[in-house]
Amino acid sequence: MAENSRSARETVERTLDSTLESVDSAEELASELAGRAGFDDEDLLKIGMAVRESMVNAVVHGNRYNAHKKVRLAVSGGERRLTVKIADEGEGFDIEHLPDPLAPDNLLRSSGRGIFLIRSFMDEFQIRRLEGGGVELTLVKYQAGK
């Protein structure tokens, strides 16, 4: 059963509160869908971590735990790729001016590694400022051999 159902396209969308519980549930949801799409354990870990870091970015730095602001999550799997979109309602940030966490002067900083880890773990990463406020992160992972 596995092969056909694992390669079928599947999309799940959620509107989530700006809480750490949402971070956990988004990570879990993306990992489950990626598992059904046939990604191996190593990729599942990377996808889970990248989604977690993206959700933390949205909940903590974007929406700042504001109960009135939501995070929109869309996970789409199948055809040997997984696409995750995470949008917040925050003020946005300028990715060009994020400090390089690998620079010697920044190595011992206690924060600032989230976006770096997302880039490291996913095959594609895009950031888009939304009309009306907020930022949308798009993460793409291809299955090995693609």
Partner 1 sequence: MSVKLSTRQVGDVSVIDVTGRITLGEGSSALRDSLRELVGNNQKKILLNLGDVSYIDSSGIGELVSGFTTVTNAGGQLKLLNLSKRVKDLLQITKLYTVFDVHDDEAAAVRSFA
Q: Which is nearer to partner 1, 2 or 107 (CB)?
A: 107
Q: Which helix (H) or strand (E) holds 136?
A: strand 135-142
135-142 and 81-87 strand pairing: antiparallel
What 3-state class would DSSP assign to 121?
helix
Please give the Cα distance from 119 to 104 (Å, whole number): 19
Binding stretches for partner 1 (CB under 8 A): 20, 23, 45, 49, 52-53, 56, 60, 101-102, 107-111, 113-114, 116-117, 120
In the bound complex, what is the minimum distance in angstroms from residue 28's beta carbon to partner 1?
A: 12
Q: Which is nearer to partner 1, 12 or 45 (CB)?
A: 45
In the bound complex, what is the minimum distance in angstroms from residue 114's beta carbon to partner 1?
A: 5
In the bound complex, what is the minimum distance in angstroms from residue 11's beta carbon to partner 1?
A: 26
Q: Of 32, 21, 95, 28, whose CA–CA distance to 59 is shortest?
A: 21
**How far is C-alpha 22 from the chain's CA centre?**
12
In the bound complex, what is the minimum distance in angstroms from residue 29's beta carbon to partner 1?
A: 16
The residue type found at 105 is: D
Q: Which is nearer to partner 1, 59 or 75 (CB)?
A: 59
Q: Which is nearer to partner 1, 64 or 109 (CB)?
A: 109
Q: Of 82, 86, 91, whose CA–CA distance to 121 is shortest?
A: 82
